[in-house]
Structure 1
Amino acid sequence: MNIFLWGLLMATAVVLPAFYFIKENPFDTTSFLSLEEKEMVAWQRAWMQISPGLTEHLKSFREMQRNSEPLKNVHTQILIGVPPVEKKLLTIGISSVQRPQESYLLETLQSLFLASSSPEQKHFIVLVHLASPNPKWLGQMTSNISTLFKPYIQARQLVVINTLGKSYLPLKNLKKKFNDTPASVAFHSKQNMDYAFLMNFAANCSDYFLMIEDDVKCVPGFVTQIASILSAWERKFWVTLEFSPLGFIGKVFHTRDLPYFVRFLLFFYQGMPCDHLLSHFLNLSHQKPIQFSPSLFQQRHNYSLEGRFSSLREAEENNIGCPNNPAATLYTNLNVANDSVLMNAYSLDKNYFYTKEAKAGSYLTVFLYRPATVFHVQVLTGSELQEENRLEEGQVELGYDSTNRVTDCDDYVFLGMLVNGTLNKHVLSEDSGKKVRCVRLLVTAAPPSGLKVRHINLWVK
């Protein structure tokens, strides 16, 4: 990386906190200036302090800011759909280009919607950026998406955009970085701009932004899991939350922070791939990676511009071993069928618990003989091969006992909602030191037929 780019990165380390300070302190000594002018003052001060020997570059950098701001010339058009009238909780962003190998965009969209329930879908919008200039490919992809995902388009849950080629910064005579080929440098430079234009469009659609790629599988219930983490971290400082260790996949931002990162990507679009730029952005923001596991997204395949298979995928599946249900007693207000046994819901064999009727408010509680450090919970309802007798609307809660009650807990914390009759959830608060005494399955809406609970599986340390 050349010395000018390093200078800009170092200046950014000082300026990013200044951006936040300026927005949060309107009565500072430069309050008579506009926000754009304040930012320029911050850049000037930082540059003079860090790199006085490179001040000749400041004039050209300042002119780029004022007269050649890349976003001023961006022309993004909507190809499919209409943005929602009201802000959503989450925008799920995907940028897709024409690949020399097979495209997985349609499979990714299908996985995304199948892995989310109807109630979950009300809280997010999917934003797809078709970022290839080939009109034939654009027309084919637009036609396929319009046909296959018509209900989601009509519900304003899916929007497809394209950015005109004249919006892009130069992709010729790019300086070679590391040992990359010229084709690879051009690919990553354009990709940085693809992501920047996607995020720029998404900035006003929701409160949070989730970035995935166009070749991933989504874990069922991923929206609820992300929403629960966002709620828990609402009052904490963070720049990104990571729900996958893969590159730029599964990264969540506040939409209010997107303009800063968009500008960062466009300033340094030639510097390095976007996931490396994100790492620098986090370092400059004084944030270490905040990563949650297991991963909510798995990569199918990823081919580079030259058609080579990318190594950017998980080295191995998350392996937590077999459940080790500790000794416990089960309690319920459900009517137990004559030929069923309540403890079968907690057994590790193929037996199951069945009840002919389950009303809203019904529960089944696993009461551990001794409190334990539970790090993973799995609940399976319904028939294994057929979609019957499963609990479509229910949730799982963890109970903590502070008064030594003998059949129940006095303090419950929400763990997650069932999706398609299933919950498979890592307990993210396992490091809090509190031990779990109860695991409660709660019915939130009556199923149309009887309820079968195949397994309540616990993993404990």
Structure 2
Amino acid sequence: MCIVKRYFFINPLKILSEISKKMKKRKNILQTILSLVTVMVVIVVFQTVLFVIQIQNNAQFYQNYNNKESSIRPITSTKEIIERSPKRILYPQFDLDNVNRNWTDTVSLIRSPKETNRRYLTMGLVTAKRPQNTVYLYNTLKSLITNANREDFREIYIVILLSDLDQEWRTNMTSEIVNRYPQEVKNGTIKIIGSFDWMYPSLTNLTHHRKWHSESKATWKAKQNIDFVLLWLYVYKTKLSEFYLHLEDDVITVGGYIKAMKNFINDQKGEWTCLEFSELGMIAKLYHTHDLEALAKMVALFYQEQPADNTYLHFNPQMLQFRRIIRKPTLFQHIGMTSSQWGHVQALKDRFFVANDQKKVLKGDNPPAKVFTSLRFLSKHSPENAYNTSFGYFWSKSKARKNDNFRIIFNKPQSIKRIVVNSGLDVFPEDKIYSGLLEISSKSINKNDCTDYKIIGQFVNGKVDVQNVPPSIKYNRHSLCSNTVPKVTKLLGDHS
């Protein structure tokens, strides 16, 4: 048996060679990592440099742009710009502070106390000189003031823009308003402002107007657009109120119109931009005050092309209101005939305005009673409105059928001498009761009905007037029964 022993010898050179190889390999890896890091740093630095350069370029661009904007000449010197500019330029310059820093004070024609608290509503209107010294403004102010109560005056402003540049006319108008309404002027409810020539663009050689409009009408409409713009910017800048109602200077309204407007505003369940209290033109359009600047910009953008009463119909959809919201019946009526456009007659009437319901001419005592009807009606136009002596009327939303009726049940027995019931409106001459009977009874079935009616009158041309009611009977009910009743019905009871 042989035992073989194997001996292993360590070669130092070989070991050193291996170690050297490994070190080289690690060095190569480190070098590779270092190279990658270096490349990344270079990329980051390069991107940073590009970013800084881009910021500088943008800053230079906006600086140049702002310098360009601020170099636009004020409105008072537009002739040279128009002559050398092949395209239309937007006028007027909306930031009027650039032209006159205190322009809201400059335009004030009377001194009135400055209000620190915003009110609920500002009513604004523009008035200009009319042919033959025709003035509708005083009737408009009288209607606005007499049809509002004392509490309303704490919540409203009336801003009047005298847009004619005739200084004598402007002075006379201001003095007359102050003389007629000294208290409203003194407490700041009525504010009178005026426009100046530096606020207007050139109104000659207008580049766009409707083909069927004469040059004079195009000029008149363009100026009127800027008048509206200046009024809106004034109300927006001074922040007088939460809401703004645009009127014209030849309108009338109805008693309780402020309350009616408030109720309509509160009844809106969704977002809205414009509420209308007249279907005509720019009469009685209500906006939030904070939207007036945007409206002014849009009207001024198209001041040559179309009147404001067309532009606002396009403005509302841009503000995401895609339908007109008109309160019917409307609260304002156009009364002017002589337009501020010389030689033009404007006889438009609002068909939804209730002309004869604001003053119920019948002066009966109308004793306390309950009023019922078999007709369907709108909640705001309940049958009580037909009986009370204040503002209001009945409006049915269903067609009447045979035996439809009104029932008025007195709270206490009454001795009646005369009964008058009137139906129909001046603006809706065909909406009358053509075939109706007036019946009375003194025998009650229950609290809400009676029996054994007696016919005492018949409607003729929408009206029944019985002056000799039998005095021997104490009646607690009179009833109107009708075979045909128009959809819109107004009933007024008069007991004297």
Q: How would you bin the TM-score normalised by the shorter chain?
A: 0.5 to 0.7
Paired residues in the alignment total 313
User: What CA distance in whole angstroms lies between the structure 1 residues aligned with 2:330 and 2:202?
Assistant: 36
C-alpha displacement at 1:373, in angstroms? Answer: 2.6
Q: Deviations over 1:107-151 (max 9, x none)?
A: 111111011111122211111111111000011001101111101
Kept in 2, the 8 Å contact 1:379–1:422? The answer is: no
**1:184 corresponds to which residue?**
217
Structure 1 or 2, whichever has the larger Rg, is 2
Tell me the distance in 2 between the aligned counterparts of 1:369 and 1:182. Answer: 57
The alignment status of 1:223 with 2:258, answered yes or no, reads: yes
Indicate the residue corresponding to 2:377 in structure 1: 373
Q: Partner letter of residue 391 of structure 2? A: L
- 1:33-432 equivalences under 5 Å are 68-69=93-94, 71-72=96-97, 73=99, 75-76=103-104, 77-80=107-110, 81-101=112-132, 102-178=134-210, 179-203=212-236, 204-233=239-268, 235-286=269-320, 287-302=322-337, 303-314=339-350, 318=354, 352-354=365-367, 366=370, 368=372, 372-374=376-378, 376-377=381-382, 422-424=390-392
Unaligned runs of 5+ in 1: 1-32, 41-59, 322-348, 355-363, 382-395, 397-417, 432-436, 440-453
Q: Structure 1-normalised TM-score?
A: 0.59
- Contact conserved, 2:113 with 2:187, CA < 8 A, in 1? no
Show the counterpart of 2:448: none
Give TM-score, length-normalised by structure 2: 0.55
Q: Is the 8 A contact 2:159 2:191 kept in 1?
A: yes
Alpha-carbon deviations, 1:382-425, whole Å to 9, x = none? xxxxxxxxxxxxxx9xxxxxxxxxxxxxxxxxxxxx9xx61215
Question: Residues 378, 97 of structure 1: CA spacing in aligned structure 2 closer, same or farther, 3 A cutoff?
Answer: farther
Q: 1:162 to 1:230 in 2, by over 3 A?
A: same
For 1:259 and 1:317, the matched residues in 2 are separated by: 30
Structure 1 position 223, deviation (Å): 0.7
Identity, % of aligned positions: 23
For 2:255, what is the secondary structure of its paired residue? coil
Closer, same or farther: CA 316–166 of 1 in aligned 2, 3 Å: same
Measure, in 1, the Cα distance between the counterparts of 2:309 and 2:273: 14
- Show structure 2 runs of 5+ residues with no match: 1-57, 66-84, 399-405, 409-419, 424-479, 488-496
Please give the alpha-carbon distance, in whole angstroms, between the structure 2 residues aligned to 1:163 and 1:351: 50
Work out the CA distance in 2 between the residues paired with 1:202 and 1:149. 21
Kindly report the root-mean-square deviation, in angstroms, between the aligned alpha carbons of the 2 structures: 4.1
Higher relative contact order (CA 8 A, sep 6+): 1
**C-alpha spacing 1:100/1:62, structure 2 compared with 1 (3 Å):** closer
